[in-house]
Amino acid sequence: MRANLGEESVINASAQFWEQMLAMKLEPLPAAGDLCLAAGHILGSVALSGVWKGRVEVRLTERLAHQATAAMMMCPIDAVSEAEALDATKEIANIIGGVIKSSLPRPCSMTVPAAAVETRDFAHPATSDDALIVAFRHDAGDLMVRVWEEECLQAA
């Protein structure tokens, strides 16, 4: 990646949401490339544009999405619907994307978040010239945050 954004920035952005807002501790995995999310996982994303153009994605197992939704809504996990889990995943992508955005070159704007249940497995190599990927593990499931850089017009 050309932007000055490292793994620690993604870990901090994730911790800010999971630990401070939901009191859930996720452990970073040493090798994100070892993580494969099965079909049925939930993808939340935001696109960013300006000096830095790209996308921030959060991909989480259905069980982790439901656990996070239950924590957000302060309700039992079995009361969480798929629509509510998708809405919560949008909020997760929005918050993590917003924190990451603050580390990118300005000006930078962010789209409204989107979320969907993925119909295919997802695996990505841990290293890539255009993406930074950090994986996390929780008892309820796995999370992958991918910052995908399309273009950076100046260094951060």
In the predicted model, is pLDDT for residue 2 greater than 70? no
Closest among 55, 38, 42 to 108, alpha carbons compared: 55
For the segment 35-89, what is each residue's pLDDT rounded down to a tens digit?
A: 889 999 999 999 999 999 999 999 999 999 999 999 999 999 999 999 999 999 9
What pLDDT does residue 154 have? 67
Mean pLDDT of the chain: 91
Cβ(109)–Cβ(56) under 8 Å?
Answer: no
For the segment 105-120, what is each residue's pLDDT rounded down to a tens digit?
A: 889 999 999 999 999 9
In the predicted model, is pLDDT for residue 3 greater than 70? no
Residue with tokens 């991909």: 59
**Cα–Cα separations (whole angstroms), residue 102 to 10, 25, 130:** 11, 23, 19
Closest among 1, 14, 2 to 100, alpha carbons compared: 14
Q: What number of residues does the chain have?
A: 156
- What residue spans of the chain are helical by DSSP H? 7-22, 62-73, 82-101
DSSP state of 120: S
Domains and CATH numbers, the chain: 7-152 (3.40.1550.10)
φ and ψ at residue 62, rounded to 5 degrees? -60, -40
For residue 126, what pLDDT band results from cuts at 50, 70 and 90?
low
